[in-house]
Structure 1
Amino acid sequence: MRTSQPERDAGSYRDPSGFVFRYDNGIYRAVADDHWPIVEKLLNSPLWQNLETSGWVISTEIVPTADPVHRRLRDHHPEYHHFLRHRPLERISYPYEWSFSMLADAALLHLRLQRKLLEQNFSLKDASAFNVQFSNAQPIFVDVLSLARPTRMDIWPAYGQFCRMFLYPLLAYLTRRLTPRQLFLGSLDGLTAKEAYYIIGPLRSLAPTYFLDVFLQYLIEKSITPDKVRSLRKRVAVSRGDARAQILNLARLERKVLRLKKKWNPSSSWQSYQKKCTYSDDGRIAKADFVQRVLAAEKPQTVLDLGCNTGHYSRIAAGTGASVLAVDTDHDCIEVLYREASQEKLPILPLLVDIANPTPGVGFRNQERRAFLERATSECVLALALLHHLLVAARLSLASIRDLLADLTKKMLIIEYVDRKDPMFQTLLALRDDLYGDLTRDLFIATFSERFEVIEEYPIPDTQRCLYHLRKR
């Protein structure tokens, strides 16, 4: 979407060094004069070029003063003299929508990036999980203004925030199965040492795995006072120290995160899905062929796969050249799909989202982090084996489901109609035989035809199901 006026990102207001905004279909960042020398030196260094090439940081260029865009930006922001242009990302996600390994990989990126920066006398001044996005299932650091000259070389001032935003949530998931969604939606700043201490347990926190990063940090946090904070700041500013101590600590944290990542194995529940579903071999093949044929013919650039499960149809969509946003309520499905997409570098972003209760706008004025529905619109939506779940489990009406899908797609919808007689539908109904007695294929077509045009209807062999290719009116 082209914007004639700069549109400031609602979540970019905390850093006095600058802010992010959208202008003329591009993503820009204004940089304050006092921070510009550091940014300019970094972006012109071989280090930054290597980081960009490796995919660790967002591609960024300085807007030249001779560029007409620079003049227009100055007209809108006369108090700023320096601007950066970033490569736009197809999708934006937040830590509370990530799986365990996504959060772990974002943590590892921070640690490895900090070690690289130290080699050239730079440092990350903070360690927020919100400074990371994902591109082709790979974590990428996006906050250029978080890079600065280190106040000291022997310690990392962002260590405490790293624990709150990464280490403690990872430990909470392993010990109590608390997902990033449960943790970060309650607090955008992550977990405090005290919260981690009580989640893990006082006795367990004495174990070697937790002692240094949880128990000792809890004691420090418990005993801290304003006078001690002021005294500590003075002492920190006295000496820059030697980087070897910090490098050793970063290496220790990296080993710890890697061990935590290896400890987590998804349950086998996701693996049984194909066995439990009602398709015969012919039906399963026919369904996949239909989806592939329609996508190959229509060639949507972006696809939203709702209820993606193990990602079979997300892979088909990616194979036709689409950038895919794949969502599901099952953490292990998203975890497995992310691991596979990351390893194969597929253009798939798996997220943990309940489409019947999607992520709301959160943070300051509920605008700091945008709602999922604002970020999810795509040229094509896949709603396969989803309709009966929304009808029965979420108790949504057929019309409300239609309107939701119409709002999410820009052009087309591939949806699977599931008849009430279908075994999976009957399983969901359980003791509620009184529900949806009037549901028929004709009612489905009549309801969806108010917002969509039926392009093709395809009954799936050996089932009570039918696939529809619909075009948005």
Structure 2
Amino acid sequence: MATSDTRIRVEPGSFRDPANRVFHAGDEVLRGLGPQAAADWRALHAADFFTALLAEGKVCGTELVDPATLPDTGWTTVLRHERIPFVSHPYEWSFAMLRDAALLHLEILRRALSAGFTTKDGSAYNLQWRGSAPVFIDIGSFEPIREGEPWAGYRQFCQTLLYPLMLQAHLGLDFQPWLRAQVDGIEPEQMRRLFGGARRLLPGVPTHVHLHGAMQARNARTSTSDVRAQLRAAGYSRELALATVRGLAKLVRRLDRRADGSHWADYQRTCGYTAQDRADKELFVDEAVAAAGAPRLVLDLGANDGRYARIAARHAAQVVAVEQDPAVVDALYRALRVEGDRRILPLVMDLADPSPGGGWRGVERAAFATRARADVVLALAVVHHLAIGRNVPLPEVVDQLVAYVRPGGRLVVEFVHPEDAMARRLLANKPDGLFPDYRRVEFERLLAARCRVERRRDLPSGTRTLYQAVVGG
């Protein structure tokens, strides 16, 4: 339901295309269109391929809205988009998520080209998620094709989608830090340095890394219009563009994540819970989320294989399952994709180093803390990893967990006592006496100072305690 706040708020990440701009009025997501963009929208809206994509849920729901029903926006043509449950960034996705996003991007481009349209760009940021299903959101990117011109988004597609996938598939390197460090993605020159020698012959590398990089260097001093004119003169056609898209899709499908060992992949078996501990914990979580009354958003911090995210999804509209290990998130995503789950969004993130703001002025890509204000936050078997494993002071751990909860929302948190086997293992790697305040009584004092604790349950093993608390409000 829309809020009563209808003030216009411009989306900080929408400024690179001056023909249209995304903004917000209350809970509504709107897009203002300039004269040419409005003409492109009318043509797009009448196209059968776009109607089919809307019906299939592959592009975000979009409709024309009367600007007179809104506060003054400065735009004469305005679109209303569906609200994506939770905005995420490509450096928070797993390998299979990035690959599926790339394949959807290429499918949409192929269908657009066949119908006489193209997309202005090829960025991974043009996609978001409904649970495990990717969705294309940049409706302003569509425009009628001009015969003889190449796809303008090819470079962006390589830098933000293809190159990260190659990095992981061919070299076994996690791509997330690379995308997080550079909002425009991985440059061809960076890739050329990584793929020398025998690596030059790996699938996709000769064409999309070395040839692409050489062409870019050769045309560095040539205007875009001159390059387009040269391609038209050489006979570049829509059929060649379609062949390129099909070739890219074939390449992307062949890329896969290298299998590697992961300590966290087997955590549920090795974490030391007894069967009764696990049953009590599951019941506690189920009751806590149900008590929130159909929450719109639940955060599961340190989600591992998604056991508790699935429990939360019984009651919540959307669950964002955050886990540090990319391999574990990838396995969870692939399972959710098979199940067709639309309620759980798995994300890769280190809670001790969450996604900061990025891009222009540090706000073009919003920080995780800015996006993550949930009705319910699950922080199960997390506190000891942050406080002991990562040396974060216990008061700051509690402060951050509370900050993720909207006023009136609930925090469900587990405290692992210093006597627990897992806590002892972490403490064994630290100097004696380093964490004198890591005690249950101190944790309870900190929690009570920030929340109203509704209930508490000691697990049967006797070394772990669960708390349900209301934050503010």
Whether the 8 Å CA contact 1:361–1:369 is kept in 2: the answer is yes
Question: How far does residue 183 in structure 1 lie from its aligned partner after superposition?
Answer: 1.0
CA 153–319 in structure 1, closer or farther in 2 if over 3 Å, else same: farther
Q: Aligned residue for 1:358? A: 354
Quick one: distance in 1 between partners of 2:197 and 2:181? Answer: 22
Counterpart Cα distance in 2 of 1:447 and 1:193: 50
Q: CA deviation at 1:469?
A: 1.0
* Alignment-derived partner of residue 296 in structure 1: 290
Pick one of 246, 252, 267 that aligns with 1:251: 246
Within the alignment, does 1:406 sit opposite 2:402 as a pair? yes
More displaced, 302-311 or 210-219?
210-219
Determine if the alignment matches structure 1 residue 305 to structure 2 residue 300. yes
* Whole-angstrom CA distance in 2 between matches of 1:278 and 1:101: 30
The aligned residue for residue 49 of structure 2 is 47
Query: 1:380-428 CA deviation, whole Å, 9 max, x = no partner?
Result: 1001001100111221222111211111112111111110011100111
Q: Structure 1 residue 21: deviation in Å?
A: 0.2
**1:220–1:387 CA distance, 2 compared to 1 (3 A):** same
Structure 2 residue aligned with 1:426? 424
Of 178-187 and 108-117, more deviation after overlay is shown by 178-187
Secondary structure at 1:76's aligned position in 2? coil
Report the Cα offset of residue 229 of structure 1. 5.2
Alpha carbons 1:266, 1:335 under 8 Å: kept: no
Cα deviation for residue 239 of structure 1 reads 8.3
Partner residue, 2:19: 17
Which stretch shifts more, 372-381 or 227-236?
A: 227-236
Q: Secondary structure at the match of 1:133?
A: strand
Partner of 1:369: 365
Deviates more, 1:26-35 or 1:274-283: 274-283
* Aligned CA distance change for structure 1 residues 243 and 431 (closer, same or farther; 3 Å): closer
Aligned to 2:91: 96
Deviation at 1:55, TM superposition (A): 1.4
Change (3 A) 1:345 1:153: farther
Tell me which residue corresponds to 1:464: 463
Tell me the residue number matched to 2:336. 341
Supply the distance in 1 between the matched residues of 2:122 and 2:186 (Cα, whole angstroms): 13
Does structure 1 residue 76 correspond to structure 2 residue 76? no
- Extract unaligned runs of 5+ from structure 2: none
Could you tell me which runs of 5 or more consecutive residues in structure 1 were left unpaired when the two chains were aligned. Answer: none
The change in CA–CA distance for 1:380 and 1:240 in structure 2 (over 3 A counts) is farther
Three-state SS of the structure 2 residue aligned to 1:4 is coil
Instruction: Report the Cα offset of residue 228 of structure 1.
Output: 7.0
Pair 1:173-2:168 in alignment: yes
How many residues are aligned here? 465
How far does residue 246 in structure 1 lie from its aligned partner after superposition? 2.0
State the 1:174 CA deviation: 2.2
Q: Which residue of 2 aligns with 1:27?
A: 29
- 1:258 Cα shift? 0.7
Shift of 1:115: 0.9
Identity of aligned residues (%): 33
Instruction: Name the amino acid aligned to 1:168.
Output: Y
**TM superposition score normalised by structure 1:** 0.93
Structure 2 partner of 1:283: 277
Q: Does 1:383 align with 2:379?
A: yes
- Code of the residue aligned with 1:404 in structure 2: it is Q
Return 270-279 or 32-41, whichever deviates more: 270-279
What do residues 446-470 of structure 1 show as CA deviations (whole Å, max 9, x unaligned)?
A: 1110111111111111240011111
- Aligned CA distance change for structure 1 residues 431 and 354 (closer, same or farther; 3 Å): closer
Question: Is the contact between residue 265 and residue 327 of structure 2 (CA under 8 Å) also seen in structure 1?
Answer: no
- Aligned to 1:314, the other structure's residue is in SS state helix
Any idea what the Cα deviations from partners look like across 1:20-62, whole Å, max 9, x if unmatched?
Answer: 0001321100000122111112123332221011111010001
Check conservation: 1:30, 1:84, Cα contact below 8 A. yes
TM-score w.r.t. length of structure 2: 0.93
The 10-residue stretch of structure 1 (293-302 or 315-324) with the greater mean CA deviation from structure 2: 293-302
Q: Which moved more, 1:291-300 or 1:444-453?
A: 291-300
Secondary structure at the aligned position of 2:184 is classed as: coil
